[in-house]
Amino acid sequence: MLLQLAIHDFAIVETLELDFRRGMTAITGETGAGKSILLGALGLCLGERADAGSVRHGAERADIIARFDISGLAEARQWLGERELGSDDCLLRRVITASGRSKAWINGTPCTISDLRELGECLIDIHSQHAHHSLLKEETHLRQLDEYAGLEPQTAQLREEFRQWQDAHRRLKRMSNDGDEIRARRQLLRYQVEELDELALSEGELEALEQEQETLANAEQTLEEAQAAVDCCDHDDEGALVRINQAVTRLTHLPGNERGALASALGMLDEARIQIEEAARELHRFIEVTELDPERLAFVDERLGRIHQIARKHHVMPDELHGLHQRLSEELEGLGGDEDAIEVLREEVASRRDSWKTLATEVGSRRTAAAPSLASDIQDQLAFLGMAKATFEVAIEARERPQPEGMERIHFRISANPGQPPRALAKVASGGELSRVSLAIQVVAASRSTIPSLVFDEVDVGISGATAEIVGQLLRRLGDKGQVLTVTHLPQVAAQAHQHLHIEKQAENNNTRTHMELLDESGRVRELARMLGGIHLSEQTLAHAREMLGATDSRH
């Protein structure tokens, strides 16, 4: 429930602080006095859009604070609790600077405007005088039925399911449109990868083949030279070993003193003999294990030729073929993944479509069940508002194509006169009738609302006489259950209120200010008399005003 509203430097209000109570509060004043300022300020605290024009002329900023008692609002307490802002009271603050910038706070903590708007939907429900204009729109009829049936959570989920379904469908369409190009690329890659798979070039193989080719190609010459080297080392007559042995023999036969002087040379000759013998053995082993293999050489030559051929085909160097094979294989696998992804996406589209259809069917059934009851409740209110002979109908038609809100199209139809079939509101209802239809619908909606604070902004436009008194009774009944703030120009409505706020515009020193006060009983009499008879109050209008208040008190 709204407890307090403090307004500073907003529009033509310099300073205004108001306390609110339970029950029905009437807000009245002359045209242009600023009744809309109060609701405008409240709307800003609830997250409505602001601009620099909201700031009083000459002031630096407008500052608005609204305090609510949320002890009975579980949804609001939960919202605040989830953000660690919770308490039994809820303080909303909005500041708009002269440059048009805006700041907001919830219980002293900075917040976004969307936070204010989201929390505000849990705190207060505003019914505008312009509602009957939107009543001519088909989407309004659907929203009213859903609100009446308590389907807001389901319809929000339905819209989200539809969004996800359509998003998946767009992704599938986009991916499918690329299918021809992908298939052509996949076909080329598959041919190239199969060719490289068949080549089966391993990492490092090219270098090994080139080395082996060189070895095989030079094998015959290598064997001949190795044999010649063996002969040089160990030939029977002229080999190096024979010569060294001869040199050693000559030196060992020298006399002792001379042999001793040549001991070093004799030792080196002995070491040389050993080295030559080892070299000869190594050469023999090489000759024994080395064979001429023309078949292997032909294979290696052919293998290298194939590698160079494929490298030229792909416009790469032969040593780049192994890396190319890996890259093309990965790309092909990725495109194969795209094919799998398309199938997965098809399944997702089907799943989301089925999920949406299931929920849409459930919502449609509940709409169908609620429609007659809504029509009946509205027709009862119309009868109460002086349209007892009217017939109201909530018609449901199937849509040809799925929409975010479901498969139903909702039409409000009315027959204001007996014997006439119900037709669309825009084609049947007059201005006054449309105002009463709008009010009847809003009263029905308010009676179903779980929000205890309701605001009615001149919803009684186009209504007068006995019907106006009935409107006042309707609003007071709503006020008996919670809190109703109603801006009205009808004394019959204002007289029904539990309390009465009066707004007037005052001009002082070339400045215009708005003043508001809670009226006592005598003040209420004078204000009702003004609303009945104008500025100059006669004893007759004053008596009429007292009678209206007295009749209200006797009824309640």
Q: Rounded mean pLDDT of 369-386?
A: 91
In a domain, 128, yes or no: no
Is the pLDDT assigned to residue 349 strictly greater than 90? yes
Cβ contacts of 348 within 8 Å, gap of 6 or more: 168
Q: Rounded mean pLDDT of 14-34?
A: 85
Whole-number pLDDT of residue 133? 61
Q: Rounded mean pLDDT of 91-104?
A: 93
In a domain, 350, yes or no: no
Look at residues 73, 72, 119 and name the one whose alpha carbon lies nearest to residue 93: 119
Burial class (CB in 10 A: 0-12, 13-18, 19+), 105: middle
The 3-state DSSP composition of the chain as helix, strand, coil percent (nearest 5) reads 60, 20, 20
In whole angstroms, give the CA distance from residue 94 to residue 369.
42
In a domain, 485, yes or no: no
Is the pLDDT assigned to residue 132 strictly greater than 60? no
- Higher pLDDT: 549 or 452? It is 549
Residue 103 pairs in a beta bridge with: 95
Whole-number pLDDT of residue 131? 53
Length of the chain: 556
Pairing mode, strands 453-457 and 125-128: parallel
What is the separation, in whole angstroms, between the first and last Cα of the chain? 22
Q: What is the mean pLDDT of the chain?
A: 84
Specify the amino acid at residue 264: S
Q: Rounded mean pLDDT of 54-66?
A: 91
In the chain, how long is the greatest CA-to-CA distance? 172
Phi-psi sector, 255: left (phi>0), alpha (psi -120 to 50), beta? beta
Is the separation of the CB atoms in 73 and 49 below 8 Å?
A: no
| 3-class SS of residue 376 | helix
In a domain, 221, yes or no: yes
Host domain of residue 325? 183-335
pLDDT tens readout for residues 426-442: 776 566 677 778 778 87
Is the pLDDT assigned to residue 158 strictly greater than 90? yes
Is the pLDDT assigned to residue 14 strictly greater than 60? yes
In a domain, 290, yes or no: yes
Q: Looking at the 3D structure of the chain, how many domains does it have? A: 1
In a domain, 279, yes or no: yes
Residue 13 pairs in a beta bridge with: 10
Q: Provide the whole-model pTM.
A: 0.60
Band (pLDDT 50/70/90 cuts) for residue 291 is low
Q: Which of the listed ranges 239-248, 301-310, 544-553 does the model predict with the highest average pLDDT? A: 301-310
Whole-number pLDDT of residue 338? 58
pLDDT tens readout for residues 382-396: 888 888 888 999 999
402: enclosing H helix or E strand: strand 391-403
In a domain, 265, yes or no: yes
Whole-number pLDDT of residue 199? 87
Q: Rounded mean pLDDT of 290-294?
A: 70
165: enclosing H helix or E strand: helix 152-177
In whole angstroms, give the CA distance from residue 408 to residue 149.
14
What is the Cα 283 distance to its own chain's centre? 81
pLDDT tens readout for residues 521-531: 999 999 999 98
Whole-number pLDDT of residue 451? 76
DSSP state of 535: S
Neighbouring C-beta atoms of residue 411, cutoff 10 Å: 16
128: enclosing H helix or E strand: strand 125-128
In a domain, 276, yes or no: yes
